Chain A
């Protein structure tokens, strides 16, 4: 499924990225990489709050549509 569809409290593994936007490179550099475990802490407005390792990262739902997770 898409990262956007994950429910708060769920933990998933990142499978792949789609889309060409350069911001996706930054997202990966921030720690959201293939194979990493990601916990969705909260959904608020148009954004998601994620926890990866020890960092908390906010990305927009729009962007999360490009991330396939399991």
Chain B
């Protein structure tokens, strides 16, 4: 089987992703381009006897790169030389899109031109003579509708035929004078126009030519090339496009009148965000609970039964049921949340609303030194840091992405709220005020972190706000679900493996050496005891506090249950009789209930994500009340607020921006959590003692 490497190239928002989705179906994969945080999408199709490998290059307006994503596209075309370029054009904006087409033609690679969204163009009175266009360029021209997938399949036979026949586009003809100079720098027969232009522009040897060009044209070489390209693009456009006078009004303009209204715009955005937030967390919560119950209440006991039947020892049974299955379960509980958030985000993105949020909120976010788009991931952070970090993929520059990722973990999530409310109720007369202050402290630390980063690492990276607002489009459900599936798969594979490995390690720490009866004898207990002096300045010298932080690295709310076991305030739950068929029935029933709850949750006015569940018995309350002072409790809460005690978050960070950043950030959050905890403990001790 022969393979064909095809690069999808086009301006941003022309529907490349949709076309790739329709072409590649479930073989679609997402990842990052090496060295940069620009998303890479790839897919594979088997057609006739060919394996067609599709790569979606980041959307670009021109092959003169400035930003990360533009460099990715540029380098790929220059160094990797795909077998064929699929140039996708948004038909309503053909004239603009033709600039990139002209630059691509300079590469002299086999090419197929795709007129996407030709239905929209027709509505706008734009008539394209595609046969004539094909003849002028020497390139096949096909029409598609990326939204519905119409015409997309017809691309495949054309790709193969062009690849086989080695059809090349007609050579571009710039002005006679320029062509003469280009021929003068030619050293080999097979140099492409793009290579000749690059030499004429940059090569030291041809300085004199640049001088004479300046004299002949009255402008510098760079300007000459640019103007020639624009003129060619404009010329082609004039040849092939006929515009009828517009009769119908553009629907996007009408919608924008409301959604981008000077006064209504922001309240509408807040409302939209509220619903995105609510649906994401409330809809997924029952499924998350169900998965947890299914794993721990059915799969784990079933495994124990099977292992007992096979005659396995006690330790093996526990390793399998608690560490392995527990670890998998821990990864899987994130699944509903990630899927629903991706769905909502993709809906916002494909419908065209997401870039408008950036435009609306830029004024506010700019004061904080951030891009308008950063607001969405930050707000999601209050629901769960993991999908919030994932959501930063919608930010264009590495700078913005890193800044926002470094802020998100300080946005307090409901897992922290569970811990806060437990401690605040025990130690303070006004727990709500304490909790509110903690949320605020998190935001302040996030802003300070961003400020530090802006003044140090990202100094001087001044950026201008330039973006396009695409027209509103209703994406199909099939497209959204496919996109969600691709991301969920990627999350499971990359963050999931990390989360799984770390949760197994933590289980081992708590349960080794073999035969430990209570945590104080385990490795975790020893670590807890040896690090206890480090927490003494925060008023937390008790080793039981420091030990409970070790399992809490999985997720903060675990700190309560681990405290309960470590303080031995709760008796071990009794073993229940396990009946597989009955248990399966129960699980099925609770899945139905989860569906019911998910749908009813959507219609509740207040997000249920913020309803605090009682997680521990009163016995723990009384033990904790005796063993801590209000100021050390506050220090503990602050430490847990700021320190990234969340395996999911660290793993996702690791996946998104790399190991070094994730570990450095973890260290930073530990330091700042410790320091502020220490500060508050000292101040608090002074206040409360007087």
Give the chain B neighbours of A47 by CB distance below 8 A.
359, 362-363, 465
Q: Does A6 lie at the interface of the complex (its beta carbon under 8 Å from any beta carbon of B)? A: no
Assuming A53-B96, A54-B93, is B466 touching A30 (CB within 8 A)? yes
A42 to B358, CA, bound (A): 14
Q: Measured between C-beta atoms, what is the minimum distance from B77 to chain A in Å?
A: 16
Instruction: Indicate if the CB atoms of B230 and A33 lie closer than 8 Å.
Output: yes
Beta-carbon contact of A56 and B469 below 8 Å: yes
Cβ–Cβ contact A31 & B469, under 8 A:
no
1/0 per residue A28-70: CB within 8 Å of B? 1111010000000110111101001111111110110000000
B508 at interface, CB cutoff 8 A = no
Closest B residue, CB atoms, query A63:
B464
Q: Which residues of B contact A46 (CB under 8 A)?
A: 362-363, 366, 465
Q: How many residues of A sit at the interface, in one of the four size bands?
A: 20 to 34
- Answer whether residue A25 sits at the interface, using C-beta atoms and an 8 A cutoff: yes
**Complex interface: chain B residues within 8 A of A10 (CB):** none
Complex Cα gap A47–B364 (Å): 12
Beta-carbon contacts of B446-475 to A below 8 Å, as 1s and 0s? Answer: 000000000000000000111111110000
User: Closest residue of chain B to A23, judged by CB?
Assistant: B464
Which residues of the partner chain B approach A52 to less than 8 Å between Cβ atoms? 96
A41-B256, A42-B260 are known contacts. Are A30 and B468 too (CB-CB below 8 A)?
A: yes
Residue of B nearest to A59 (CB): B466
Q: Which of B62, B256, B364, B466 has the most CB of A within 10 A?
A: B466
Judged by a CB distance under 8 angstroms, whether B64 is at the interface is yes
Chain A nearest Cβ from B523, distance in angstroms? 55
- Interface residue A1 (Cβ < 8 Å from any Cβ of B): no
Contact A44 B61 (CB under 8 A): no
Chain A proximity mask over B353-365: 1 for CB below 8 Å, otherwise 0: 0000011101110
Taking the closest CB of chain B, its distance from the CB of A34, in whole angstroms, is 9
For the complex, give the distance between the alpha carbons of A27 and B64 in Å. Answer: 12
A28: chain B residues within 8 A (beta carbon)? 226, 230
B333-361 interface (Cβ within 8 A of A): 358-360
Quick one: CB contact mask for B70-102 with A, threshold 8 Å, 1 for yes?
000000000000000000000011011001100
Could you tell me the distance in whole angstroms from the C-beta of A57 to the nearest C-beta in chain B? Answer: 5
How far apart sit A53 and B260, CA to CA, in the bound complex (Å)? 20
- Which B residues are CB-close (under 8 A) to A45? 362-364, 366
Q: Is B194 interfacial (CB 8 A cutoff)?
A: no
Contact count A vs B, C-beta below 8 Å = 99
Contact A58 B93 (CB under 8 A): no
Which chain A residues border B363 with CB–CB below 8 Å?
Answer: 44-47
Q: Chain A nearest CB: distance from B286 CB in Å?
A: 40
- Enumerate chain A residues within 8 angstroms of B93, measured Cβ to Cβ: 31, 53-55
A54 in contact with B124 (CB, 8 Å):
yes
Q: Is there contact, CB below 8 Å, between B66 and A58?
A: no
The digit string for B524-550, where 1 denotes a CB below 8 A from any CB of A, is 000000000000000000000000000
Interface centre among B250, B464, B467 (most CB of A within 10 A): B464
Q: Does B218 interact with chain A (Cβ within 8 Å)?
A: no
Asked if B260 and A44 sit within 8 Å, CB to CB, the answer is yes
Give the residue name and chain of the A residue nearest to B365 (CB): A45
* B537 → chain A closest CB, angstroms: 45
Contact among B92, B464, B468 with A57 in the assembled complex (CB-CB below 8 Å): B468
Please give me the residue from chain A that is nearest to B63 by CB atom: A29
Q: Are A26 and B61 in contact (CB under 8 A)?
A: yes
| Known contacts A30-B61, A44-B360, A45-B362: A54-B92 contact under CB 8 Å | yes
Complex Cα–Cα for A30 and B471 (A): 15
Contacts of A42 in B (CB 8 A): 260, 262
B27 at the interface (CB under 8 A from A): no
Q: For residue A1, give the distance in angstroms from its CB to the closest CB of chain B.
A: 20
A52 CA to B256 CA, complexed, in Å: 16
Cβ-defined contact, A60 with B469, below 8 A: no
Partner of B464, one of A33, A44, A55, A59: A59
- Say how far B93's CB is from chain A's closest CB, in angstroms: 5
Within the complex, what minimum Cβ distance (angstroms) separates B393 from chain A? Answer: 20
Q: A33-B230, A46-B362, A54-B92 are in contact. Are A60 and B464 (CB under 8 A)?
A: yes
User: Among B66, B100, B468, which residue has its beta carbon within 8 angstroms of that of A23?
Assistant: B66
The residue on A at minimum CB distance from B262 is A44
What's the least CB distance linking B95 to chain A, in Å? 6
Closest to B61 in A: A29
In the bound complex, what is the Cα–Cα distance between A13 and B124 (angstroms)? 22
From B96, B126, B250, give the contact of A31 (CB < 8 A): B96
With both chains docked as a complex, state the minimum distance between the C-beta of B98 and any C-beta of chain A, in angstroms: 11
- Residue in contact with A58 in the complex, picked from B64, B253, B465, CB distance below 8 Å: B465
**Once the chains are docked, how many angstroms separate the CA of A26 from the CA of B358?**
19
Tell me, rounded to whole Å, the shortest Cβ–Cβ distance linking B106 to chain A.
15
Check if B466 sits within 8 Å of A27, measured CB to CB. Answer: yes
**How distant is the Cα of A39 from the Cα of B445 in the complex, in angstroms?**
42
B252 at the interface (CB under 8 A from A): yes
Provide the residues of chain B in CB contact with A60, threshold 8 Å: 464-466
A29 CB contact (under 8 Å) in B99, B124, B262:
B99
When distances are taken between beta carbons in the complex, the residues of chain B under 8 Å from A53 are 93, 95-96
Whether B464 and A58, one on each chain, are in contact in the complex, defined by CB atoms closer than 8 angstroms, is no
Query: A46 to nearest B CB, angstroms?
Result: 6
User: Does B466 contact A56, Cβ atoms closer than 8 Å?
Assistant: no
- The A-contacting residues of B in range 220-270, CB under 8 angstroms, are 226, 230, 250, 252-253, 256, 260, 262, 265
Which listed residue, A25, A55, A59, touches B64 by the CB 8 Å rule?
Answer: A25
Minimum Cβ distance to chain A for residue B356 (Å): 9
Residues of B within 8 A of A27 (CB): 466
Chain A residues with CB under 8 Å of B468's CB are 30, 55-58
Can you name 5 A-B residue pairings with CB atoms under 8 Å? A47-B363, A55-B92, A57-B469, A58-B359, A62-B464
* Residues of chain B having any CB pair with chain A under 8 Å: 61-62, 64, 66, 92-93, 95-96, 99-100, 124, 126, 226, 230, 250, 252-253, 256, 260, 262, 265, 358-360, 362-364, 366, 464-471
A residues engaging B (CB < 8 A)? 21-23, 25-31, 33, 41-42, 44-47, 49, 52-60, 62-63
Contacts A29-B61, A46-B362, A59-B464 supplied; 11 other A-B pairs, CB < 8 Å: A23-B466, A26-B61, A27-B466, A28-B230, A47-B465, A53-B93, A54-B93, A54-B124, A58-B359, A58-B467, A63-B464
Query: Which 5 A/B pairs are nearest by Cβ-Cβ distance?
Result: A45-B363, A29-B62, A29-B61, A31-B96, A56-B469
